[in-house]
Amino acid sequence: MVRCFIGIFIPEECKEAICKLQEKIKRLPIKCKFVERENLHISLSFLGEISEEKVRKVERELGNLVNEFSSFKVKCKDILFIPNKRYFRVLALDVKEGRNILIAISNEIKRRVGGDVKPPHLTLCRVKKVLEKEVVIKSLEKEESSISFIVESIDLVKSTLSPKGPIYQVIKELKLP
């Protein structure tokens, strides 16, 4: 069995801005587990533990699916408090531009191969404890970080859990036409 998800990795040229935002969050009265620089991505579908046979089926279906979409622009900005501001367990950048295309791709993946699909976002960290909620919310609501990039491929990714965090390995990169 292989723990897998389908996602879009963030280009290297955008990671510096994201890491600067993570550094700002580290200075707030909050304790978090930050997504590692090399793991920054937008998830399209979390497949969980699947068999090698299912991995091959997913590869084939994704190969067909990518031909139905073209490269497109994504812009992420504004902090998302997930599930909400009263009780947030995740801080993420919201996808503003390209959102509808990501939703269409995610829905098509769910229809063809399944998985758990969430609204598009770029996770920054998982929240362990908020020490001063109002300070954190006010500070992050004022945050103006944004990144833009062209999505040129979708990846089928193996995720191996380790004590230091997940280790991601691309099983198959599928280029958009």
Catalytic residues: 41, 121
Q: Compute the C-alpha angle 143/133/39, nearest 5°.
A: 55
Rg (CA), the chain: 16
Q: Which residue has the tokens 């004022």?
A: 142
> Across the strands, what pairs with 31?
129
Per the CB < 8 A criterion, the answer to whether 147 and 15 are in contact is: no
Per the CB < 8 A criterion, the answer to whether 29 and 136 are in contact is: yes
Residue whose C-alpha is closest to residue 8's, from 33, 36, 39: 39
